[in-house]
Amino acid sequence: MTATPPDPAAAFKQQAAIKAASLVQDGMAVGLGTGSTAKFVVAELGRRVREEGLRIRAIPTSSVTEKQAKEEGIPLTTFGEQPELDIAIDGADEIEPRTLNLIKGLGGALLWEKIVASAAKQFVVVADASKYVDHLGAKCPLPVEVIPFGWEKVARQLGELGAHVTPRRNRDGSFYLTDEKNLIMDCVFGPMMEPKKLGRSILEIVGVVEHGLFLHMACQTITAGPEGIRILTPQQD
């Protein structure tokens, strides 16, 4: 259920989330994102379902979001029943304001998130304003999902592309596992001048399932900060 955010950053995330959730109309099929901002979207849509009678069907991007959606009373569907979505709303870890290219995956759900985003007519990104960067990789690592078998080999090959590679682990030292029971390699490349080329090179490595570069996928970003709500669309070259 919707709760009051305990700090200013969370309040900005909630503001952006509520604005994005207002784009969802009656009868839509909706992709529900994962993460600290997306959870406010799910909460707001749940409120609208309960209080306004909003009729939607949703596909979540993680088991965590699925649990929250059920708690909020949001009806869920599958790609077998609903092959195309009207809109998907999700967060991002970094955003290039000119291109709206993104890094996603610090929450561990990048594979499902990319499947859902690619199935949506509109992919809308919500975040607080701190997520904007001049070049992807400036602030956070690039998550890469890999199968457990042979991960050491994959990590070495990612390193050969210029990354400092760290397998993601839980607090107890065990490997972090995605919903598909894969591993995540957090790859620090630094600012990326050619993210499209890098993304292709990563996918050529046998054992890589997907990476967290979401390039030319977002149609709109909605962010909030001290200056208020900011809405961006990709700039045409």
Q: Which residues carry out catalysis?
A: 113
Tell me the sheet residues that pair with 128. Answer: 224
Helix intervals (H) in the chain: 8-21, 38-52, 63-72, 110-118, 151-160, 195-203
Provide φ and ψ at 71, rounded to 5°.
-65, -35
- A 10 A CB-CB count for 233 gives 10
- Residues 30, 164: Cα–Cα separation, whole Å: 36
- Residues 216, 199: Cα–Cα separation, whole Å: 12
Task: Please report, for residues 101, 121, 150, 198, 208, the alpha-carbon distance to residue 157 in angstroms, rounded to integers and kept in the order given.
Answer: 24, 35, 11, 13, 10
- Residues 47, 52: Cα–Cα separation, whole Å: 8
